[in-house]
Amino acid sequence: MKKLIILLFLVSMVSCSGGDDDDTKVTTEPFIGLWTYTYTTVSGKYNNSHNINSNKTHIYTEEPMETDLYEGEWSNDGTDFNSRNQIYSLTEDNYLSFKITTRFSSDFNSF
């Protein structure tokens, strides 16, 4: 019986020693990935994607107009990947330059 009580105590200590799961640290750029969104105008429905690459390049595509394809470079104006608020600078086709201010969700899967 004594061994069982000690075993239960050790198991509960190990399971609780990992810390708080809410303290997950982001160690990579949260902007990298394929971001998609849809919107509707009087001209129709658009399904857009923005592929953000780790090599600091990006490709933006508007559908159904597949001819609208823009390529360029991006950078993060900040240094704290754990901040849900980020500001990104983007250029497209070497002539268009703009900034995107984002507020990421708590799991960094949307903004």
Q: Is the pLDDT of residue 86 over 50?
A: yes
Say whether pTM exceeds 0.85: no
For 64-93, what is the mean pLDDT? 84
> DSSP characters for 71-111?
EEEEEES-S-TT-SEEEEEEEETTTEEEEEEEE--TTSS--
CB contact at 8 A, 81 and 73 = no
Phi and psi at residue 105, in whole multiples of 5°? -65, 170
Q: What is the pLDDT of residues 4-16, one digit of tens each?
A: 444 444 444 443 3
Q: What is the pLDDT of residues 17-66, one digit of tens each?
A: 344 445 567 778 899 999 888 888 887 888 888 899 999 998 888 777 65
Phi and psi at residue 95, in whole multiples of 5°? -135, -25
